Amino acid sequence: MPYRCCVPNCRGNYDGGPKVTVFKFPEDEAMRKKWLSSIRRDNFTPSSSSRVCHVHFHKDDVIWETQIVDERTGQLLRAPLLKPRLRPDAVPSLLPNCPSYLSKEESRREGPEEKKQRLENEQLAAALQYSLASQKDYENTFSFSSLEELMLRTKEVDLPNEWSVIEKHSDFVCFLKIIRNPAPLITHSVVIDSNLNVSLFKKDVQIKTLGKRSFPVIVTNIHEIVSVLQEFSDTDCGHSETSIDSIVEIVKDSLGVLKDSLQESEKEMVDFIYEQVSLINVKKFNHRFSSTFMILCCLLFSISSHAYNFLRSSSLMKMPHPSTLRRICSKFNVNLSHERLGGSNFLSYARQKFQYLNSDDVNVVLSVDEIHLNSYLEYKGGNVLGMSYNSECAANSAFVFMLQSVKSLYRDVVHILPVKTISSNALYDVLLAIINGLELIGYRVFCVVTDNNKINSKTMSMFSLDKAVNIVFKHPSDPNRPLFFLIDAIHIVKCIRNVWLNQKNDGKDMFYPQFPVRKEVEENKFSVASFKTLKQIYDIDSSSLVKYCHTLSLKSLCPTSLEKQSMKLVLQIFNRHVSEGLEVASDKFDLRHAPSTAEYIRIITKWFDVMNVKSVFKGKHKQNPYMDPLTTDSVSMQFLLDFLDWLDVWKAKGLSSGFLTKETFFAIQHTTYAVVEIARYCTEELGMSYLLTAKLQTDVLERRFGKYRQLAGSQYNVSVTQVYEAEKKLRIQSVINAFSFMFSFLWQYHSRGHKKFYVF
Q: What DSSP string describes 384-404? A: EESB-TTSSSBPSEEEEEEEE
Q: What is the largest CA-CA distance in the chain?
A: 168
* Residues sharing a CB contact under 8 Å with residue 50, sequence separation 6 or more, in sequence order: 6, 24, 25
Give 370-384 pLDDT, tens digit per residue. 999 988 888 776 777
Determine which helix (DSSP H) or strand (DSSP E) holds 489, and give its type and residue range.
helix 489-501
Q: Is the peptide bond before 182 cis (omega within 30 degrees of 0)?
A: yes
Q: What is the reported pLDDT for 611?
A: 94
CA distance 633 to 635: 7
Rg of the chain taking only CA atoms, in angstroms: 50
Distances (CA, A) of 421 to 389, 426, 557, 720: 10, 10, 34, 15
Specify the pairing of strand 165-168 against strand 172-179: antiparallel
CA distance 531 to 506: 10
Asked if 495 and 480 touch (Cβ cutoff 8 Å), the reply is: no
Of 365, 336, 358, nearest to 349 by C-alpha is: 336
Q: What is the reported pLDDT for 73?
A: 63
Asked if 239 and 170 touch (Cβ cutoff 8 Å), the reply is: no
Q: What is the 3-state secondary structure (H, E, C) of 548-565?
A: CCCCCCHHHHCCCCCHHH
3-state helix, strand, coil in the chain (%, to 5): 45, 15, 40
Which residues in the chain come in under a pLDDT of 70? 1, 69-75, 105-111, 114, 138-139, 164-165, 167-170, 181, 235-247, 249, 252, 329-337, 381, 519-524, 736-760
CA distance 4 to 13: 5
Residues in the chain: 760
CA distance 172 to 189: 12
Q: Which three-class secondary structure state does DSSP give residue 201?
A: strand
CA distance 284 to 273: 18
pTM of the model: 0.62
Give 445-455 pLDDT, tens digit per residue. 999 999 988 99
Q: What is the reported pLDDT for 640?
A: 95
Distances (CA, A) of 179 to 159, 162, 188, 338: 15, 7, 10, 75
Burial of 381 (0-12, 13-18, 19+ CB in 10 A): exposed
Q: What is the reported pLDDT for 216?
A: 86
Q: What is the reported pLDDT for 729?
A: 80
Determine which helix (DSSP H) or strand (DSSP E) holds 681, and give its type and residue range.
helix 662-684
Q: What is the reported pLDDT for 351?
A: 87
Of 664, 686, 336, 271, nearest to 482 by C-alpha is: 686
Q: Which three-class secondary structure state does DSSP give residue 49?
A: coil
- CB-based burial, 273-283: b 16+ in 10 Å, e otherwise: bbbebbbeeee
Determine which helix (DSSP H) or strand (DSSP E) holds 365, and give its type and residue range.
strand 363-372
Asked if 142 and 134 touch (Cβ cutoff 8 Å), the reply is: no
Distances (CA, A) of 334 to 329, 352, 415, 730: 10, 9, 11, 10
User: Phi/psi zone of residue 731: left (φ > 0), alpha (ψ -120 to 50 degrees), beta?
Assistant: alpha
Q: What is the reported pLDDT for 487?
A: 94
Give 100-114 pLDDT, tens digit per residue. 777 776 656 666 776
CA distance 507 to 526: 16
